[in-house]
Amino acid sequence: MIISFDIGGSAIKGGVAHSEADIRPLGRRPTPKDDFAAFVDTLRAIIAETGEQPRRLAFSIAGVVDPDTQRLTCANIPCIHGRNLAADLEAELGLPVLIANDADCFAMAEADLGAGRGHRIVLGAILGTGVGGGVVADGRLINAAGGFAGEWGHGPALASQAGNPPVAIPAYPCGCGQKGCVDTVGGARGLERLHKTLHEIDLSSQEIIDDWLKGEAKSARTIDVFVDLVASPLALTINITGATIVPVGGGLSNVEPLLAELDKAVRQRILRKFDRPLVVRSECRVEPGLIGAALLGLKAEADFVAS
């Protein structure tokens, strides 16, 4: 039995997995952000809730493990930021621990149990508040040891002009320290930023989308530019990885007409041609972090037993 955790800035959620077909959520508790001892105690309480002794713990975290030092970057939870979290938790809890990025766990869930079933290479893409991603190849997460593979949202990749007719696009500063990243326009906050740049109007992403679906001209222009900007770096990522399916999660994935426009634009820009949708809505809509972490834990345990 594996226990998986989805660690967020506001809540810690737990799940128990006996097999790929038997993954069940446990309770959720507030995240102790500044007290590592309280953080560990919260994990102990969730483990005790199962009434069983797990073989392994697997974590989905909105952060990145450095593959060289194994230290975690997780700025929104100070008590675990900068730690070799796997080693620290193993010492505290006496169990093998696996740590993975939440976008990687999403990609794993989609590859095994979602829209990526039957595909050798799956690129999981997040279009939420910002942009993220992960890559699974032959059932294995590329970032098994940590790292940034699949993070197509970062790097100065944005076009300086976009839309029909073309309009100049600023190289917006990104939280990663670069300028002109896909993350600066590709998520919900980016869509709002883009609308403000084009029209000098402050609207929420939901308002922009609602207006676009009603045929409103300014929002239609924003969506046209948005799709043009996002499609090219996503197409390049597909060319590089060889992905044959791109399940999309995050809030914008709920807007299926937007995904259809993005899919059409992406398929026009990639080398390999598909006569079916490539950029699709994810199928694991409930707790993909928990599911993906559980799958990674089950695979790690199977590898351990086999060795």
**Mean pLDDT computed over every residue of the chain:** 95
- Note the pLDDT of residue 247: 98
The helix (H) or strand (E) run that includes residue 43 is helix 36-50
The conformation of residue 55, written as its DSSP 8-state character, comes to S
Give the range of the structural domain holding residue 126, as residue numbers without chain letter. Answer: 118-281
- Note the pLDDT of residue 68: 93
- Note the pLDDT of residue 304: 86
100 and 138 share a domain?
Answer: no
Could you read off the pLDDT of 263-288 as tens digits, one per residue? 999 999 999 999 999 999 999 988 99
Q: Give a yes or no: residue 110 inside a domain.
A: no
Q: Is 256 a residue whose pLDDT tops 90?
A: yes
- Note the pLDDT of residue 306: 87
Could you read off the pLDDT of 105-154 as tens digits, one per residue? 999 999 999 999 999 999 999 999 999 999 999 999 999 889 999 999 99
Instruction: Look at the pTM and tell me if it is higher than 0.85.
Output: yes
CA 279 – CA 233 distance, rounded (Å): 13
Q: Give a yes or no: residue 276 inside a domain.
A: yes
Q: Are 35 and 79 in contact (CB under 8 A)?
A: yes
Domains held by the chain: number: 2
212 and 138 share a domain?
Answer: yes
Average pLDDT of the residues in 156-179: 95
Could you read off the pLDDT of 42-64 as tens digits, one per residue? 999 999 988 889 999 999 999 99
CA 19 – CA 25 distance, rounded (Å): 13
Q: What is the CATH number of the domain that holds 172?
A: 3.30.420.40
Average pLDDT of the residues in 209-227: 98
Per-residue burial over 134-173, b = 16 or more CB atoms within 10 Å of its CB, e = otherwise:
bbbbeeebbbeebbbbbbbbbbebbeeebbeeeeebeebe
